[in-house]
């Protein structure tokens, strides 16, 4: 017998499971850039007992709440926080830049006029049977 079928079975592959997991979904970079503009408001929030640490210990760059000051300080020294700071140094793309990159903004219809317009659309130069150009 041959080898058992193993391909195309993504049931137990951890990478695909993690990719589609939304339990620990964080904010995107452009949302965090918007939050950095009002960082003072986010760091001094009123007490909300539904959040960890009553909402008093918040990391704006990572969009994450902590239970106490020591856990926040440990987080600030961690690799994850430093990576996030490095990613936030880049300016987020605008919608116009994304459209240009995908090719939506680069296509322009050229409007030609006069005798040259007929030769561009109809190389033969003559109109069809109805008198319309094709």
User: What residues contact residue 27 under an 8 Å CB cut-off, 6+ apart?
Assistant: 35, 63
Look at residue 59 in the predicted model and tell me its pLDDT. 92
Residue 27's pLDDT band (cuts 50, 70, 90): confident
pLDDT 10s digits, 9-26: 666 777 777 777 777 777
Task: Tell me the Ramachandran region of residue 55: left when phi exceeds 0, alpha when psi lies from -120 to 50, beta otherwise.
Answer: left
- The rounded distance, in Å, linking the Cα atoms of 90 and 133 is 52
Indicate whether 110 pLDDT > 60. Answer: no
**pTM for this model (two decimals):** 0.56
- The rounded distance, in Å, linking the Cα atoms of 55 and 58 is 7
């Amino acid at each position: 017998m041959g080898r058992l079928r193993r391909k195309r079975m993504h049931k137990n592959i951890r990478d695909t499971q993690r990719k589609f997991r939304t339990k620990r979904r964080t904010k995107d970079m452009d949302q965090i850039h918007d939050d950095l503009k009002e960082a003072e408001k986010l760091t001094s929030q009123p007490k909300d007992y539904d959040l960890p640490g009553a909402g008093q210990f918040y990391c704006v760059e990572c969009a994450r709440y902590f239970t106490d000051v020591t856990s926040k300080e440990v987080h600030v020294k961690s690799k994850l926080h430093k990576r996030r700071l490095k990613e936030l140094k880049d300016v987020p793309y605008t919608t116009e830049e994304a459209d240009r990159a995908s090719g939506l903004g680069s296509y322009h219809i050229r409007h030609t006029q006069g005798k040259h317009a007929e030769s561009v659309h109809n190389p033969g130069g003559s109109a069809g049977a109805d008198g319309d150009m094709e």
